[in-house]
């Protein structure tokens, strides 16, 4: 059991952790790449700015000496040697007017005509054995309006090494951040899945012997809280139905025991000594009555268990209720006459129900039979049928079986349709009732999507009111 409750939880936990790791890796990688790209751009811009400043100084210097014939010698003094920056000035024919000593043997790649060049042009140049350098090229006109090409060059080494230090920083901090995020994810996944373990443990403890235990609902508003509430509701329903089954089994056993006990006692007493023929006949008569009662009880139990397992419905047939009730009433009329009870019925409207004619006959026969059973001679049993229109426009047929019998006390009415419920135990047993008739009526009505209810007043009589959905026309 431990294995089955633990392994799925660990699986989900590890799966969440793995997903977290994948997502975090992707996010951190994208973030680092964007960051490094921005840093590199910023460093290059900073280096380009200083190149531009150096070039501006050079332009000022050139403007300061209007005599361009001597420009090379004048620049030689200030710009010949510089720790970081190297300069070159070229005239419009490509002849160098000045170059820093560093550039004596170095050819800079540039073949643009200074007369057409606009603005500043930055580029990276790879100098053999000297590494990558950043080159800025601009054009200007000297005092005689001759175009000059100015170039300033600086090594990228400092910039590259600063960039590399950022790369190393990210390469070191990134995995640490990733590991921390994955560990935090693992821990958080564990914490959020912990209530599921509680739910599983409680569900495991709940068994037929321990049905009252429920899952603890920590927060009814979160997903796990809602799951716990739904499970508790399912456990409630399970508990109710198991209790109903237990009650039903106990009641059924009790019901079966009494006729069996009567038959056994009668037989034992009869066998104890020799009896007269008349006495034997009486014992056989009692045994027959009890056997009949047992047969009826087992038929009803079987009916209910079939209904419970869904044997009733859905229905394909269309049943004409007026024809069906006419048949039932024909049989019932004779029984009422025999008992000296008046029987009345209203006109039966045309009403078609999608259902089962045998079970619908049984429903009305049971109700009429009860009315007759509990009404003394001289009383009346009535069947009234009418069709009414609901507020939503649909039509419903209402059938009322009423009698002038003893009535049923108000406290019994809510439980009357329960299995084995009897309002008046002694009278009922005397009349041979099993307490299952109304439960069967209710299951028939439910299967036909109708309703059944009872109204009664002690000393006045009872009314059983059945509604059945259907149509006034002979089609579904
Ligand atoms: P039974 O087969 O014992 O009559 P039912 O389920 O048909 O069982 O009825 C349950 C109980 O309801 C009966 O025991 C009886 O007390 C009461 N009851 C049913 N119908 C009537 C009625 N028409 N008048 C008075 N009591 C009734």
| pLDDT reported for residue 426 | 64
180-210, pLDDT tens digit by residue?
Answer: 999 999 999 888 888 888 888 888 888 767 8
Helix (H), strand (E) at residue 5 = helix 2-64
Query: In Å, what is the CA distance from 386 to each residue of 30, 107, 347, 380?
Result: 76, 113, 9, 20
CA-to-CA distance for 438 and 368, rounded, in angstroms? 11
397-420, pLDDT tens digit by residue?
Answer: 999 999 999 999 999 999 999 988
340 and 292 share one domain: no
| pLDDT reported for residue 186 | 92
Residue 294: which of 268, 269, 261 has the closest Cα?
A: 261
CB of 405 sitting under 6 A from ligand 1: yes
228-239, pLDDT tens digit by residue?
Answer: 899 899 989 988
28 and 112 share one domain: yes
Residue 408: which of 432, 385, 384, 438 has the closest Cα?
A: 438
Is the Cα torsion angle 295, 296, 299, 305 positive or negative in sign?
Answer: negative
Residue count of the chain = 476
Last residue of a domain, one of 163, 185, 205: 163
320-356, pLDDT tens digit by residue?
Answer: 999 999 999 998 999 999 999 999 999 999 999 999 9
126-166, pLDDT tens digit by residue?
Answer: 888 888 899 999 988 877 788 888 999 999 888 899 999 99
CA-to-CA distance for 99 and 90, rounded, in angstroms? 9
Last residue of a domain, one of 308, 332, 356: 308
Residue 207 lies in a domain: no
227 and 291 share one domain: yes
CB of 379 sitting under 6 A from ligand 1: no
| pLDDT reported for residue 1 | 40
- Cis preceding linkage at 464, omega within 30: no
- Mutate which of 258, 374, 382, 419 for ligand 1? The one with the most ligand atoms within 8 Å of its CB, which is 374
CA-to-CA distance for 134 and 293, rounded, in angstroms? 111
Query: In Å, what is the CA distance from 174 to each residue of 17, 21, 42, 104, 180?
Result: 18, 13, 21, 46, 10
Whether the pLDDT of residue 448 is over 90: the answer is yes
CATH number at residue 255: 1.10.287.130
CA-to-CA distance for 100 and 102, rounded, in angstroms? 5
365 and 403 share one domain: yes
Total of domains in the chain: 3
Helix (H), strand (E) at residue 8 = helix 2-64
Tell me the three state secondary structure of residue 91: strand
The answer to whether the CB of 233 falls within 8 A of the CB of 220 is no
What is the number of the ligand 1 atom nearest to the C-alpha of 374? 24
Highest mean pLDDT among 193-197, 252-256, 468-472: 468-472
328 and 388 share one domain: yes
Q: How far, rounded to the nearest angstrom, does the alpha carbon of residue 429 sit from its chain's CA centroid?
A: 51
CA-to-CA distance for 267 and 284, rounded, in angstroms? 9
CB of 404 sitting under 6 A from ligand 1: no
64-102, pLDDT tens digit by residue?
Answer: 877 777 777 788 877 877 778 899 888 888 788 888 888
Tell me the three state secondary structure of residue 134: strand
383 CA from centroid of ligand 1 (Å): 17
The answer to whether the CB of 82 falls within 8 A of the CB of 51 is no
The answer to whether the CB of 412 falls within 8 A of the CB of 425 is no
Residue 43: which of 110, 113, 128, 134 has the closest Cα?
A: 134
Question: What is the Cβ-side half-sphere exposure of residue 252, based on CA atoms within 13 angstroms?
Answer: 16
270 and 354 share one domain: no
394 and 340 share one domain: yes
């Amino acid at each position: 059991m431990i294995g089955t409750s633990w392994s799925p939880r660990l699986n989900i936990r590890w799966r969440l952790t793995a997903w977290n790791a994948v997502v975090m890796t992707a996010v951190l990688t994208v973030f680092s790449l964007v960051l490094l790209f921005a840093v590199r751009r910023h460093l290059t811009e900073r280096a380009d700015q200083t190149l531009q400043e150096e070039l501006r100084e050079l332009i000022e210097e050139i403007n300061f000496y209007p005599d361009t014939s001597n420009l090379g010698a004048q620049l030689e003094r200030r710009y010949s040697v510089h720790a970081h920056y190297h300069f070159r000035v070229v005239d419009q024919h490509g002849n160098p007017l000045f170059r820093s000593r560093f550039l004596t043997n170095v050819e800079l790649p540039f073949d643009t005509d200074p007369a057409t060049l606009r603005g500043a042009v930055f580029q990276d140049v790879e100098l053999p054995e000297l590494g990558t350098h950043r080159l800025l090229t601009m054009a200007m006109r000297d005092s005689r309006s001759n175009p000059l090409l100015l170039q300033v060059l600086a090594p990228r080494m400092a910039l590259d090494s600063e960039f590399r230090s950022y790369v190393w920083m990210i390469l070191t901090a990134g995995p640490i951040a990733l590991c921390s995020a994955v560990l935090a994810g693992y821990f958080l996944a564990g914490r959020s899945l912990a209530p599921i373990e509680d739910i599983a443990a409680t569900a495991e403890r709940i068994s037929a012997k321990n049905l009252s235990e429920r899952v603890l609902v920590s927060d009814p508003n979160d997903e796990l809280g809602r799951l716990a509430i739904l499970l508790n509701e399912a456990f409630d329903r399970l508990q109710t139905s198991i209790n109903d089954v237990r009650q039903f089994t106990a009641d059924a056993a009790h019901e079966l025991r009494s006729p069996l006990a009567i038959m056994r006692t009668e037989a034992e007493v009869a066998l104890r000594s020799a009896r007269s023929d008349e006495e034997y006949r009486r014992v056989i008569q009692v045994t027959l009555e009890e056997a009949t009662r047992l047969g009826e009880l087992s038929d009803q139990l079987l009916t209910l268990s079939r209904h419970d397992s869904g044997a009733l419905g859905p229905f394909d047939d269309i049943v004409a209720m007026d024809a069906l009730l006419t048949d039932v009433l024909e049989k019932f009329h004779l029984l009422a006459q025999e008992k000296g009870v008046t029987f009345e019925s209203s006109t039966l409207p045309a009403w078609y129900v999608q259902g089962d004619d045998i079970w619908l006959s049984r429903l009305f026969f049971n109700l009429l039979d009860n009315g007759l059973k509990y009404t003394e001679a001289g009383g009346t049993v009535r069947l009234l049928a009418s069709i009414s229109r609901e507020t939503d426009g649909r039509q419903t047929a209402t059938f009322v079986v009423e009698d002038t019998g003893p009535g049923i006390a108000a406290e019994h009415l809510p439980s009357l349709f329960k299995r084995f419920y009897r309002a008046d135990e002694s009278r009922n047993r005397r009349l041979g009732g099993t307490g299952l008739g109304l439960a069967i009526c209710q299951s028939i009505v439910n299967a036909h999507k109708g309703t059944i209810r009872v109204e009664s007043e002690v000393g006045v009589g009872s009314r059983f009111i059945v509604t059945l959905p259907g149509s006034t026309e002979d089609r579904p």
